[in-house]
Structure 1
Amino acid sequence: MNPIEWLFDAQLQIGTQTILWREVVGNAFGIASAVGGMRRKIWAWPVGIIGNALLFTVFLGAVFGTPNPVNLLGQAGRQIMFIVVSIFGWVQWRRSRDSAVQVAVVPHWASNRTRVLLGLGLVAGTLVLTPIFRALGSFEPVWADAWIFTGSLLATYGMAKGWTEFWLIWVAVDIVGVPLLISAGYYASAVLYLFYGAFTVIGFIVWVRVHRRAQALTLRR
């Protein structure tokens, strides 16, 4: 069996629960990408894309015949969205890279207008996608799946633009994501979402401090 076949079929049995190793590995790549994003490293984007590809197969449990026959269409769909937006972010960060400090972007606050648009976009996207995901057979509560998809899109786009607020959008995603994943039986992802929740708060604080230091250096010049 080659490594790809092993990764696709390998399972971890904990009590009565079966967890796919590719769910664990995919989320591990996601954590590595989050660390790279906090440090503003370009490699965060390709690493995240690998994790997205793995998790896409995990969240279509009924399609790929996994031990957990539950489809979370928002979770699966957002992996495709992540790949598309990550390519945009990868290009964006490469263009704006500061070679002097070896980081790809300088964190900054979004404008008040942008913040309002982000909030409205999160609510509107959830309302629009909920009936669509329900018609396609997504796991209930479908609004939570739609919320996670919309928030993930906005947060990833915000990261690409260098808006410090993108970390707070991730917090909103994690708050809804943990109970949804537990109820759907995706326990490995739920545990890692708890980690993400704590990590996003740390990431937000780090980016705020970097932004303040950048402002202070600008004022001294």
Structure 2
Amino acid sequence: MGTLRWLLDAQVHIGGSAVLWREIIGNVFGLASALLGMRRLVWAWPIGMLGNALLFTVFLGGVFVTPQAVDLYGQAGRQVFFFAVSVYGWWRWSRNRRTGTAPDAGAVVPRWATNRERALLLGMLVVGMALAYPALKALGSWGPLPDAWILVGSLLATYGMARGWVEFWLIWIAVDAVGVPLLLQGRFYPSAAMYGVYGLFCAWGFVSWLRTARVLRRRTESAPSHVEVVA
């Protein structure tokens, strides 16, 4: 209980503002998950889930008592959905790893989504925003519209990562662009700073996956019998 109590209460003061260590640690886990995801390693998923659990308590500031005392229900809710989608991603990448889907021993084969898959993402975006915005507004979320986009966009990006779609990095960049000003206004400074870092990192990840997709596509075209593509 001593460790749990420390994790819930421990703070550090940055620029005169109190910041929870669990917010810092949760974001570090998130960054580690992103780094592992760029390398297409299965460990990206469980590491990210640990960060989700910590950040869930941070964004329900009125429930778990944070210095901000601000409830961002979309930010908190997305941690729950992240956890659920991450179970799917963990399972899918583990299966791919066992079956040797990627010729370079990665856990997924990066590729552009098809037109049908992009239409699916667009439909999910429209439906998600139509449901999330009024729900978050009714719950009294602080900043319901950007909060809704961060929630829905994050879920789409996580699902796209699980499927190996290169576009997921671009969705993350769009999420970060909205998340930074929202979190700064709410005084969630570590999370805002991490969103800024994520944005730069996602640009790097996009270029990395794009190059890998091109290399693996050429390998597939030259030796298609050696690659099993899992739908």
Report percent identity of matched pairs: 55
- The answer on 1:37 being equivalent to 2:37 is yes
The letter for the 1-side match of 2:28 is A
Q: CA deviation at 1:56?
A: 0.2
Q: CA deviation at 1:14?
A: 1.7
Farther off after superposition, 162-171 or 1-10: 1-10
Q: CA deviation at 1:101?
A: 3.6
Corresponding residue number in structure 1 for 2:226 = none
Match of 2:151 among 149, 152, 156: 149
Corresponding residue number in structure 2 for 1:164 = 166
Corresponding residue number in structure 1 for 2:124 = 121
Corresponding residue number in structure 1 for 2:206 = 204
Corresponding residue number in structure 1 for 2:88 = 88
The number of residue pairs the alignment matches comes to 220
Q: Does the 8 Å CA contact 1:127/1:143 hold for their aligned counterparts?
A: no
Q: Does the 8 Å CA contact 1:31/1:196 hold for their aligned counterparts?
A: yes
Q: Which residues in structure 2 correspond to 1:1-221 (within 5 Å)?
A: 2-97=2-97, 98=100, 101-140=104-143, 142-221=144-223
Deviation per CA, 1:59-91, whole angstroms, max 9, x where unpaired?
000111211110000000000001100011000
Farther off after superposition, 124-133 or 193-202: 124-133
Q: CA deviation at 1:15?
A: 3.0
Deviation per CA, 1:100-154, whole angstroms, max 9, x where unpaired?
64321111111112213313422432232111101111002x1100000000111
Farther off after superposition, 93-102 or 19-28: 93-102
Q: CA deviation at 1:220?
A: 2.5
Q: CA deviation at 1:8?
A: 1.3
Gaps of 5+ in 2: 224-231
Gaps of 5+ in 1: none
TM-score (norm. length: structure 1): 0.95
Q: Does the 8 Å CA contact 1:178/1:190 hold for their aligned counterparts?
A: yes
Tell me, in whole angstroms, the C-alpha distance in 1 between the residues paired with 2:178 and 2:43.
28
Q: Does the 8 Å CA contact 1:56/1:79 hold for their aligned counterparts?
A: yes
Tell me, in whole angstroms, the C-alpha distance in 2 between the residues paired with 1:95 and 1:69.
42
SS at 1:107 equivalent = coil
SS at 2:134 equivalent = helix
Across the aligned residues of Structure 1 and Structure 2, the Cα RMSD in angstroms comes to 1.4
Q: Does the 8 Å CA contact 1:42/1:90 hold for their aligned counterparts?
A: yes
The letter for the 2-side match of 1:102 is A
TM-score (norm. length: structure 2): 0.91
The letter for the 2-side match of 1:20 is L
Q: CA deviation at 1:6?
A: 1.2
The letter for the 1-side match of 2:128 is G
Tell me, in whole angstroms, the C-alpha distance in 2 between the residues paired with 1:114 and 1:45.
22
